[in-house]
Chain A
Amino acid sequence: MGKKEQILLTLDGKYTGYIPVIPVANTFAARWSGKPMGEVMSNSELYAQAVIDCRKHFDYDGLWVNGFGGVAAALGQGLTDKFGQESLTGEGVILTRESLEQLHEFRADQDLNLDGMINAIRMMKEQEPDQPIFTVVSSPASTAAVMMDVGNFYISMIKDPEFVKEVIRRITEPLVESVKMLARAGVDVIWNPMPTLSGTCISRKLYEQICRESNMYFNEQVRKCGLRLVAHACGKWDDRFDLLFGEGNDGVHVSECNFQEVCQMYGKDTCIMGDIPSVPIMLFGTPEEVYQTAFGNCMEALSYGTFILSPDCGMPPDVPYENIEEMCRAARDAVEKIGK
């Protein structure tokens, strides 16, 4: 059985005698390449090559296609943002209901951002056919937050929730169209970050009232494309894990949680991913601390279900190389201990 099959089966809840190690290593790989980060992150070929070479060097799993901000840019590029400037990214351009009328039409087949991603995916599939390809696609609510300006989004959630729902509705289909294009190009897993919607930011009540329905619809469309889905529960989700784990995700990438409790409650039905603290342990911890944390995570999670070892958020670009080696070694040792 190849690595890709093993990893996809892990997400399907089947233990294959292997613990995948999948850091979200896009900016790390760009830094590791030695080229200026801005240049690598804006050039799909340089970026793909950096990701491929970095993965091979450290022998972890998975390839990450650079985060997709294409829908926001395609809909809102050129419109005036909250600073009164012409936006290049579509961030902060939907400040009023009137600005909704100014959004451009979205054509996935003409989107330059998607073109770059598809080019990166092609290179990855050619050079590393046995590695699954992950890409970051934000949920409709998260994308709405970006396009409305996050502060305005939060305030509108209370003052004008129907406006927020209208923006989310407007953004959802373009996102689904993009996912379909990415699926056709060969992406295997959508990794959905929801940082603005965690318990660190909004209440469970607002999450349920405004975001959840669109999240569930979006997840359903992703799965219809034959893709696996991992939700990143960035921040505090303890008061709403029951909702998240009921939204049709194949995996949940956790952070800042009671790891044992989450594995115990939800690990049987959903693959758990995490949970090495990115900054205090991966970036600033000793190799020994990384090993102990990673090994502990593996042993804990595998008692209940399947597991992917990873830092609990994006891997910082300055993580010491030794710490990555120790993370990988911990997963191998855990398999030895548990048995194949």
Chain B
Amino acid sequence: MCMEEIAAAVCEGDDDNIVDLCRMALEGGATPSCIIKEGLTAGMMRAGEFFDSGEYFLPEMLISSMTLQKGLDYLVGCLEKESGFWRGCIVIGTVEGDTHDIGKNLVGAMLQAAGFRVIDLGIDVSAERFIESVGIYKPDIIAMSALLSTTMMNMETVIRRLSDRGLRDQVKVMIGGAVVNQRFADRIGADGYSENASQAVLLAERLICAS
């Protein structure tokens, strides 16, 4: 089975056939991590390039992401047998008062495909839940999303409480969302900001290396 076919299926959003393609690749002797990296992730990265160039928009990205997720869900059980795939743990969520989850879900899927164990806290996540997650999951990174100018300041609340509880040194913080930017990230003391899902993966890799 050619990885190119899997990559094309993800990029074109062929969610009906992705599981069959992955199964055939496994039967053909490919390892799960190889299928994820060279098939699923490569396809999603290609979709991301189309998004950056203005050829794809959110509907196309969501269908690619849905296809990616189906493939990942199928392969993730097999991955446990392979050692050394997971590169770190990331807790992700949309901050309190904000119910937008499209961007957050895209970033979560891309991070998972890139080899991060992703714990998705969902939407409208209180500062306290983010803080609790540090004790429960021991993440390397907390990733927060906000789409509203009325909720973006809740990101600062999370960072401040991490510091107040003496947890700030244990975890990196990255942020994203339509209303935030690098200047805002610097202002609230986040470790990084990314403009889109593919940049979020690069940022997470940088933060993990730095820690």
Contacts and interface: CB of A to CB of B under 8 A. Distances in A.
B183 interface: yes
B152 interface: yes
B57 A202 contact: yes
Contacts of A313: 149
Interface in B80-132: 99-102, 105
B153 interface: yes
B62 interface: yes
Contact of A155 (B62, B100, B149, B187): B62
A159 B149 contact: no
Contacts of A284: 183-184, 187
A202 B183 contact: no
Interface stretch (A71-79, A170-178, A275-283, A332-340): A275-283
Interface of A: 27, 91, 150-151, 154-155, 157-159, 199-203, 206, 235, 278-280, 283-284, 313-318
Nearest to A156: B59
Contact of A203 (B13, B57, B99): B57
B153 A318 contact: yes
A199 B66 CA distance: 21
Interface of B: 13, 57-60, 62-63, 66, 99-102, 105, 149-150, 152-153, 178-181, 183-184, 187
Given A151-B101, A154-B59, A203-B57, A278 B149 contact: yes
A284 B180 CA distance: 11
Contacts of B180: 279
Given A150-B102, A151-B102, A154-B102, A283 B149 contact: yes
B66 A155 contact: yes
Contacts of A283: 149
Given A155-B63, A202-B57, A316-B152, 18 more contacts: A151-B62, A155-B62, A158-B60, A158-B63, A200-B178, A202-B59, A203-B59, A235-B178, A278-B149, A278-B179, A279-B149, A279-B184, A280-B183, A284-B183, A284-B184, A313-B149, A314-B150, A315-B149
B187 to A, nearest CB: 7
Given A279-B179, A284-B184, A284-B187, A155 B59 contact: yes
12 contacts: A150-B100, A155-B63, A158-B59, A202-B58, A202-B59, A279-B152, A279-B180, A279-B181, A280-B181, A313-B149, A314-B149, A315-B149
Nearest to A314: B149
Contacts of B149: 278-279, 283, 313-316
A154 B58 contact: yes
Given A283-B149, A314-B150, A206 B59 contact: yes
A4 B149 CA distance: 29
A314 B152 CA distance: 13
Given A200-B178, A283-B149, A159 B57 contact: no
Nearest to B101: A151
A280 B13 CA distance: 36
Contacts of B105: 151
B105 to A, nearest CB: 7
A202 B60 CA distance: 9
A154 B181 contact: no
A233 to B, nearest CB: 14
Nearest to A154: B59
B150 A159 contact: no
Contacts of B178: 200, 235
A201 B187 contact: no
B57 A27 contact: no
Nearest to A319: B149
B152 A159 contact: no
A13 B138 CA distance: 59
Contacts of A206: 57, 59
Contacts of B57: 199, 201-203, 206
A91 B62 CA distance: 19
Nearest to A278: B149
Contact of B58 (A27, A201, A280, A316): A201
